[in-house]
Structure 1
Amino acid sequence: MSDFQTEILTPIPAHAVYLHCCRVANADQAHIIAALKQLSSQLSDKTVVIGLGASLLDFLNIQIPGMHAFPDFSASHLDMHAYETDLWIWLKAKERGELFHTTQQISSLLEESFRIIHQVDAYRFQDGRDLTGYEDGTENPEGEAACECAFMHHDQAALNGGSFLAVQQWQHSFAAFNAMSAIDKDHMIGRRLTDNEELDDAPESAHVKRTAQENFSPEAFILRRSMPWSLQDHGGLYFTAFGHSFDAFEAQLTRMLGLEDGIVDALFQISSPIMSSYFWCPPMQQGRLNLSALD
């Protein structure tokens, strides 16, 4: 049986819901830990990934090596909208109706310790494309490389198989995107929309060039499991990056923001994050979340 949350590795589902929860004011440490254990037990038959925020771990007086709040990137003058969230839940399903019922179950289960403060509905679009039509996560590691990239290796069972998660909800300006020519769109991304081929003559600001994982030292590989989201006339990409640390994600974002060489990622022409958060995804033990680090 796996020692990590296996749903991190499964293919992108047809539908998903991301729940951001904060603890209620009168919930003490014992009640919160009990609620998390009950959540793990009740959702053992569901396709779900669970993450704990730095604010919750601090409240529980738990130190997870490598875990911290979302960093300050204010030097870039581009607001990342860092947002502290205690508990993060990613629910997956083939049908949206399943997600409705499971969300209701979770809300009832957690009501004495947590409340849902932000919910994002997401879905698969054109077999893994962003709402712009470009393929997402083209260079994701696979197989054993994905496991090496995404999960922590530690001699303590309470930490081994855990994963560090960076979340950013990006909102696109489709008015700006649709006003661009096809060539300008391809140069912004660094790939051709028609066949997903990387463009050698793309500018240095192209998103693909800014985030080429093998071009960092050390290499900055992350496991992306992002999905499109929309609400009324707003939409974009709910970006999720799993890693054995936050180092690779932070290296990529630092370069995207132009903090190394002054070249800002062209993606910011049409998109920006409206929420950024960090989480620690506990490992698994016998089909349940291994929450022994909290004890």
Structure 2
Amino acid sequence: MELAQPAILAEETSLARYITFAITDAENIPSVLQKLADTVDITKHAIGIGQNVIQSLDTEIPGLRYMPALAAGEIEVPTTADDLWIWLRGDDRGKLFHLSLALEEICHPAFELTSAIDSFQYDKNRDLSGYEDGTENPEGDDAVNAAIVKNDIDGLNGSSFVAVQQWIHDFEILDEMSTEEKDDAIGRHISNNEEYDAPKSAHVKRSAQEDFEPEAFMLRRSMPWAVGMDGGLMFVAFGHSFDAFEAIMERMMGEDDGILDAIFKFTVPITGAYFWCPPVKGGKLDLTALNLG
């Protein structure tokens, strides 16, 4: 779709760097956003804007909200105070690093850096747990229908909403689990990625997008991350709204039937935020909806 940020629908990348920012000076937000729109190559990278930024501009993006915090027993799904998100994609880690430094300088008058996470492709499309990730991701028109807003409103048509979470794995627990126990937690055989009659708590059964009413399809662009001896998954999911993400997250937490997703045995999210990704016009971000066109 020509109005969507191309990076959202582009083929997967071998490397990524996710940088987030928090507001420090609201008065400078308009000039910073306009400079980002003029600087960032949206054919390769993507930008998301948080609710605090929208409110500081005294405007509204229908459908944008804060990610809700959830809890079930000792499991918590947090929400993080991040206001601006930039997804850098490429095949050279050094270039992505230097680009992030340049973007931090551009953002500095209005924002401070809150995180910078490098991600990478592992064995083509596997999570660090060893299981394939993104299975049954929508493609083609289905991907557009799942991820992109379609309406007749200039500045909103072609935009997208993205949910971003950093999940951290407990590799000691993973190493102690048998292959059968891990398969039962995921709901697929690690050997061939085939689904089977796994327990009701299996992640595949808790999150099957076609099992919701309405169906809860999202376009996932997740990648593994590792810092020192820690690692996990940067979960990134684009949607025409946040409804699909929230429906799946609530079922994973057992809010409808009390069954907690077995994936929480070895991984938990440590951050979480929602962003709105503006559409594109004339080869750069269209900030019309923010009265910054």
Q: Are 1:243 and 2:239 matched, yes or no?
A: yes
Question: Residues 46, 66 of structure 1: CA spacing in aligned structure 2 closer, same or farther, 3 A cutoff?
Answer: closer
Greater alpha carbon shift after TM alignment, 71-80 vs 206-215 = 71-80
Match for residue 67 of structure 1? Answer: 64
Match of residue 182, structure 1, among 179, 184, 188: 179
Match for residue 79 of structure 1? Answer: 76
**CA positional deviation for 1:184:** 0.8
Which whole-Å CA distance do the structure 1 matches of 2:182 and 2:191 have between them? 11
Match for residue 223 of structure 2? Answer: 227
**CA positional deviation for 1:75:** 5.8
Match for residue 163 of structure 1? Answer: 160
Match of residue 139, structure 1, among 132, 136, 140: 136
Which whole-Å CA distance do the structure 2 matches of 1:18 and 1:46 have between them? 16
Match for residue 288 of structure 2? Answer: 292
Q: Are 1:38 and 2:30 matched, yes or no?
A: no
Q: Is the 8 A contact 1:76 1:259 kept in 2?
A: no
Q: Deviations over 1:185-211 (max 9, x none)?
A: 111100011110011x20000000000
Match for residue 52 of structure 1? Answer: 49
Question: Residues 2, 272 of structure 1: CA spacing in aligned structure 2 closer, same or farther, 3 A cutoff?
Answer: same
Match for residue 98 of structure 1? Answer: 95
**CA positional deviation for 1:78:** 2.4
Structure 1 runs of 4+ aligned residues shifted over 3 Å read: 74-77
Which whole-Å CA distance do the structure 2 matches of 1:35 and 1:225 have between them? 26
Question: Residues 212, 177 of structure 1: CA spacing in aligned structure 2 closer, same or farther, 3 A cutoff?
Answer: same
Question: Residues 76, 43 of structure 1: CA spacing in aligned structure 2 closer, same or farther, 3 A cutoff?
Answer: same
Q: Deviations over 1:111-154 (max 9, x none)?
A: 21112111111111100110011110101000000000000111
- The amino acid that maps onto 1:13 is T
Q: Deviations over 1:30-75 (max 9, x none)?
A: x211211111211136611100011111121221111100113246
Match for residue 272 of structure 2? Answer: 276
Q: Is the 8 A contact 2:6 2:44 kept in 1?
A: no
Which whole-Å CA distance do the structure 2 matches of 1:74 and 1:56 have between them? 27
Q: Are 1:203 and 2:194 matched, yes or no?
A: no
TM-score, scaled to structure 2 = 0.96
Which whole-Å CA distance do the structure 2 matches of 1:239 and 1:45 have between them? 20
Which whole-Å CA distance do the structure 2 matches of 1:270 and 1:287 have between them? 42
- The amino acid that maps onto 1:242 is F
Which whole-Å CA distance do the structure 2 matches of 1:188 and 1:152 have between them? 34
Which whole-Å CA distance do the structure 1 matches of 2:122 and 2:22 have between them? 30
**CA positional deviation for 1:77:** 5.3
Q: How many residues are aligned here?
A: 291
**CA positional deviation for 1:27:** 3.8
Which whole-Å CA distance do the structure 2 matches of 1:175 and 1:45 have between them? 39
- The amino acid that maps onto 1:20 is T
Query: What secondary structure does 1:167 align onto?
Result: strand
- The amino acid that maps onto 2:82 is T
Aligned residues: CA RMSD: 1.3
Match of residue 117, structure 2, among 120, 129, 137: 120
Q: Is the 8 A contact 2:16 2:90 kept in 1?
A: yes
Which whole-Å CA distance do the structure 1 matches of 2:260 and 2:274 have between them? 23
Q: Is the 8 A contact 1:35 1:110 kept in 2?
A: yes
Unaligned runs of at least 5 residues, structure 2: none
- The amino acid that maps onto 2:136 is E
Which whole-Å CA distance do the structure 2 matches of 1:70 and 1:143 have between them? 28
Q: Are 1:5 and 2:5 matched, yes or no?
A: yes
**CA positional deviation for 1:12:** 2.2
Q: Are 1:172 and 2:169 matched, yes or no?
A: yes
- The amino acid that maps onto 2:7 is E
Which whole-Å CA distance do the structure 2 matches of 1:249 and 1:160 have between them? 20
Greater alpha carbon shift after TM alignment, 36-45 vs 135-144 = 36-45
TM-score, scaled to structure 1 = 0.96
Query: What secondary structure does 2:126 align onto?
Result: coil
Which whole-Å CA distance do the structure 1 matches of 2:72 and 2:53 have between them? 27
